[in-house]
Chain A
Amino acid sequence: MKTFEEKWTAWLDGQLSERELAEFEASLPDRAAAEAEKADVRKLGVLLKRELGVSAFANEEFFSHQLRERILESSVPSAKREANASTWWTIPRLLWTGTASLAVFLIFTIFVIRDKNPAEESQYLTQILNARVDPVVSPNATVSMFEVKQDRVTVLWTEGLQSLPADYAAK
């Protein structure tokens, strides 16, 4: 449902349909005054068109040039933003890559060690003896005992032993 203002405007601009026009004109209390008003509005339109219709636009080429410059400037910061954004994205990417690599490495190591251990298991069992050598006599001495399981042979391996204590003498 159009308001009076809408109907009036449409009537002035010749935008009413035939039926709307007949209804609207029939509803006008003073048709002559309305027609005078219509002529008035047309004169106003002519005046506005004549006076405002053509405005000079000096330096229009400079206008375009300035706009091109601004477009260029606006695209440079956006390129910088993109560069910054890519730096920001690199850190998570690096983290993910690092984590993934570590995980792959761990999985690989576990499997390899598990697979290799049985094959490369030493034929010796090494025991570090708890026996302590006198640190004053032999400060760097280490004593290890190797036992070959199959042959039931035990090897006593000593290093850095400067002298054999007297009570170690073979009996």
Chain B
Amino acid sequence: MQTEATLAQADVSDLDLVTRCQAGDTEAFDQLVTRYRTRVFGMIYNMVHSEQDAWDLAQDSFLKAWKSIKRFRGRSSFYTWIYRIVMNVTIDWLRKKQVKGGGSEFDDSVQLKHIEPASKTVPKSEALPHEMIERREIRGRIDKAIAQLSPEQRAVILMKEIEEMQYHEIAEALGCSIGTVMSRLFYARKKLQNLLRDVYENI
């Protein structure tokens, strides 16, 4: 049940919170973090496939956002702005990891956790064991397929299909042209279609 305080917090716009952050209000920044931490973490996790790395990168992204919040001019939404930081941090990390070439990108020891959609409002129903195993296998296939994309292609496909962002928002978040976004999306989809056709044909 939401308290009056949380309802009041929900009413405050991102821009108001940003303005307070720019005056040094860490509590306002805390509210922004609470709003976006799950999406940011989920986005990064889908790109790096490691819970620990996603945690660290999300931390770094928010810390960077706090340090540069005074430069936010409100030309785009805070959401797009924070995504730009997240993408810079994550893509940079993925590139460095590729250069180092240290080990497999997948961390199979990490147990993927899923929560049911809208689990906060709907009573939770436990999935059957065989369903859980099947979901894990599918998730593993998807993660491996995504790992074969370039960092930029991963970012584009995830922002389009998961976050349902517009081309111009993706372009802004990645600091590239809309044409580049569309082109990357084309190749990312082609690759995933080839790798996952048998998966989505059977669902």
Contacts and interface: CB of A to CB of B under 8 A. Distances in A.
A68 B30 contact: yes
Given A41-B193, A44-B192, A45-B161, A55 B41 contact: yes
A57 B42 CA distance: 8
Contacts of B100: none
A5 B187 contact: yes
B179 A6 contact: yes
Interface in A45-91: 45-58, 60, 63-64, 66-68, 70-71, 74
Interface size class of A (residues with CB under 8 A): 35 or more
Contacts of B138: 47, 51
B33 A64 contact: yes
Contacts of B197: 40
Contact of B113 (A56, A67, A71): A56
Contact of B114 (A2, A54, A60, A70): A54
Contacts of B46: 52, 55
A47 B142 contact: yes
Contact of A6 (B29, B160, B186, B189): B186
Interface stretch (B2-10, B12-20, B62-70, B74-82): B62-70
B124 to A, nearest CB: 12
A69 to B, nearest CB: 10
Contacts of B161: 44-45, 48-49, 52
A147 to B, nearest CB: 78
Contacts of B55: 63
A15 B113 CA distance: 35
B182 A5 contact: yes
A9 B46 CA distance: 22
Contacts of A150: none
Identify whether the interface residues of B are mostly helix, strand, loop, or mixed. helix
B186 A71 contact: no
A94 to B, nearest CB: 31
Given A67-B33, A71-B26, A74-B63, A5 B183 contact: yes
Contacts of B38: 55, 57, 60
B45 interface: yes
A43 interface: yes
A15 to B, nearest CB: 7
A47 B161 CA distance: 9
Nearest to A71: B66
Interface string B173-191: 0000001001101110100
B37 A64 contact: yes
20 contacts: A5-B186, A8-B186, A9-B185, A40-B200, A44-B200, A47-B200, A48-B157, A51-B139, A51-B142, A52-B158, A54-B116, A54-B117, A55-B46, A55-B113, A56-B114, A64-B33, A66-B59, A67-B33, A67-B63, A71-B63
Interface of B: 26, 29-30, 33-34, 37-38, 41-42, 45-46, 55, 58-59, 62-63, 66-67, 112-117, 135, 138-139, 142, 157-158, 160-162, 167, 179, 182-183, 185-187, 189, 192-193, 196-197, 199-201, 203
